[in-house]
């Protein structure tokens, strides 16, 4: 089986986090997350679609795309209107939402 075909056959449940504790601490520091946010390193056997009951899985790439906490009222309202949970958004979608919000703010002041 070629590598290309093998990659296409992988699903979200086949991919696990490779983030280290040091990497998590860098991400938390870089994006202004504080200890009260209770950011935890995912277990090596859990994937983003299966976080512990009281946690939410967020891609590091989503933070790189512009998501910040606490989330803006605009993003909160958008997610609520469409009945979408923040963990359902892929990084490229979050980038588009954040960019749209910034463009609206720039246009309207």
Q: Tokens representing 103?
A: 């463009």
Q: Tokens representing 72?
A: 């803006």
pLDDT confidence of residue 40: 87
pLDDT confidence of residue 89: 87
pLDDT confidence of residue 108: 85
* Model confidence pLDDT, tens digit, residues 13-68: 777 788 889 999 999 999 988 887 888 888 888 777 788 888 888 888 889 888 88
pLDDT exceeds cutoff 60 at 69:
yes
- Name the DSSP letter for residue 92: H
Among the listed residues 88, 57, 86, 50, the one whose alpha carbon sits nearest the alpha carbon of residue 70: 86
pLDDT confidence of residue 76: 95
């Amino acid at each position: 089986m070629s590598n290309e075909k093998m990659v296409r056959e992988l699903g979200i449940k086949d991919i696990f986090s490779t983030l280290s504790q040091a990497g998590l601490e860098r991400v938390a520091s870089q994006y202004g997350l504080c200890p009260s946010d209770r950011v935890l390193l995912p277990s090596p056997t859990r994937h983003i679609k299966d976080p512990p009951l009281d946690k939410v899985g967020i891609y590091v790439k989503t933070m790189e795309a512009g998501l910040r906490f606490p989330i803006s009222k605009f993003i909160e309202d958008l997610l609520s209107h469409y009945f979408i949970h923040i963990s359902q958004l892929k990084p490229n979608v979050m980038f588009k939402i954040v960019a749209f919000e910034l463009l609206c703010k720039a246009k309207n002041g």
